[in-house]
Structure 1
Amino acid sequence: MVNTDMIRTVVGIVGNVVSFGLFASPAPTFYQIIKRGAVEEFSPNPYLATLLNCLLWVFYGMPFVHPHSVLVVTINGVGIVMESIYIILYLRYSNKKQRMWVFKVLACELVFFAAAVVLTLFLAHGTKTRTLVVGILCVIFNICMYGMPLDVMRLVIKTKSIEYLPVMLSITSFCNGLLWLAYALLRFDLFITISNGTGAVLGSIQLVLIVLYYESTPKRGDKKPNEVQLSSVDGKISPV
């Protein structure tokens, strides 16, 4: 007889490994940023959205909110550390306007998270009610996290270039969504199912764009001064 709990644990562990790959995938992007000495048109939005998303999922996995979710807490705890590093690096190599945008969003996120924690603990009684409240928030912001590259995707379609679309981030987002979807379905968790099912779909769209525009992406040294300049992708965070 197949032990569903054991399979779910194995899938969750594999999901942790792939999620670590998801969090580590922006490393090549930041290597280029450090090498060039500027963030240029790279957007901070995916990292800001992922940070808030990880904070909410760690809260969701706490025993007093949603028991038996250790694997959710561990990987999202790692995510908080890694996204914080990326944001610090972004601030180091951004201009004043970009830096102010990051500070404003960070302030809003921290205030929102603190309010969510306080209100949930004081107004929602019992793990079932808390799971519902925090789970809905996690779904909303998890979809935002997966959808953050959409602003860059518009840029990709406009320029027919994937230079500013993090390829490894797109690939690992797709794989991560599929694995955590399987994890959620083995012992049905509505919130993880919705979040990562959406992530798998959005990740697949990014992969399609990579296939379509990989060949048409010019090498950095091949661009001509009179070519159309890339527009800014410092757009506001918003649900899709």
Structure 2
Amino acid sequence: METAVEFTLTDYVAPVCAASSILLYMTGWPAVWTVMKRKSTGDMSTFPYIAMLVNCSSWVGYGSLVRNNVLLVVNTTGSVLQSIFITFFYCYSKSKRLINQQILFAFLFLLAIYYYIYQSEDTSGTIKTLGPICSCLAVLAYAAPLSAMGEVISTKSTSSMNFPLSVANLIVGVEWSAYGFLLGDYYVMGPNILGVIVSFLQVSLFYIYPNKPATVLPA
């Protein structure tokens, strides 16, 4: 009876996690449209998209090992979207040297990951090795906004942060934490619990330092 309850909950949470994550990945499109309109990347960095590509692609490998279709679908979609974003950024970037270096590093890293997966005959051992690597990559992805949080605290303004994105990260983190718990997969649950904490801190900053409308001075 207990197994049936867990299966039902997992079956319900899985598609919610998948849909929420894919929608979260889609938030990169506004930046792409901006780049296309300006025909320049300006001050926007390609690195977050390359880092997310490495993260998603690594989780595709992990998902194939544990035979989890949700991880496969979500992270394959994320990998495709990040690749599209990177392509647009690359086309409109005036300085491609740094991007080339980042792409090369990402390619070599993923090549090593997938070579290790496919040459290994010990699936259980591979999961125990790849799991912590994927967890660390997810933690780094969640930790990326910490620099923005430091700026908010120093300036006492949340104008540099995206409230809807912060809330979305919080919701997705809770969903994946619950999904990892139901699966009994601590490699999935662990980094997402940390992500929930970071996202909650981000959202709380909007309450502590609310954006105030600009004051219009009389002419």
1:116 to 113, 117, 120: 113
What is the count of residue pairs matched by the alignment?
214
> Bigger relative contact order, structure 1 or 2, given CA contacts below 8 A and separation 6+?
1
Corresponding residue of 1:82: 81
Q: Does 1:125 align with 2:124?
A: no
1:35-74 map, 5 Å: 35-62=37-64, 65-67=65-67, 69-74=68-73
Deviation at 1:31, TM superposition (A): 3.3
**How high is the sequence identity, in percent, across the aligned residues?**
25
1:235 paired residue number:
none
Cα deviation for residue 36 of structure 1 reads 4.3
Change over 3 Å in CA distance of 1:57–1:155 after alignment to 2:
same
Cα separation, 2, equivalents of 1:212 and 1:15: 29
- Distance in 1 (CA, whole Å) between partners of 2:151 and 2:80 is 29
Check conservation: 1:26, 1:169, Cα contact below 8 A.
Answer: no
How is 1:225-240 mapped onto 2 (pairs within 5 angstroms)? none
The question of whether the paired residues in 2 share the 8 Å contact of 1:57 and 1:76 is answered with yes
Q: TM-score, normalised by structure 2?
A: 0.85
Candidates 5, 8, 14, aligned match of 2:7: 5
**Structure 1 residues 84 and 165, CA gap change in structure 2 (3 angstroms):** farther
Pick the aligned partner of 1:101 from 98, 101, 126: 98
Q: 1:137 to 1:207 in 2, by over 3 A?
A: same
Question: CA separation of 1:41/1:167 partners in 2, compared to 1, >3 Å: closer, same or farther?
Answer: farther
Secondary structure of residue in 1 paired with 2:135: helix
5+ residue gaps, structure 1, are: 223-240
Q: Which has the higher helix share?
A: 2
Give the residue type in structure 1 aligned to 2:125: T
Provide closer, same or farther for how the CA distance between residues 94 and 216 of structure 1 changes in structure 2, counting only shifts above 3 A: farther
Matched residues in 1 for 2:160 and 2:86: separation?
Answer: 17
* Residue equivalent to 1:228: none
Q: How far, CA to CA, are the matches of 2:134 and 2:115 in structure 1?
A: 16
- 3-state SS, counterpart of residue 161 of structure 2: coil
What CA RMSD, in Å, does the superposition of the two structures yield over aligned residues? Answer: 2.5
Distance 1:186 1:141 in 2: 22
Give secondary structure in 1 for the equivalent of 2:211.
coil
SS in 1 for 2:66: coil
**2:114 counterpart letter in structure 1:** V
2: distance between equivalents of 1:146 and 1:217? Answer: 29
Which structure 2 residue ranges, 5 or more long, are not aligned? none
Cα 1:91/1:213, change in 2 over 3 Å? farther
Offset, 1:29: 3.4
Cross-structure match for 2:178: 182
Match of 1:134 in 2: 130
Q: Would you say the 8 A contact 2:63–2:69 is kept in 1?
A: yes
The CA deviation at 1:178 is: 0.6
Q: What is the CA distance between 1:163 and its match in structure 2?
A: 4.6
Q: Residue 216 of structure 1: CA displacement?
A: 4.6
- TM-score normalized by the length of structure 1: 0.78
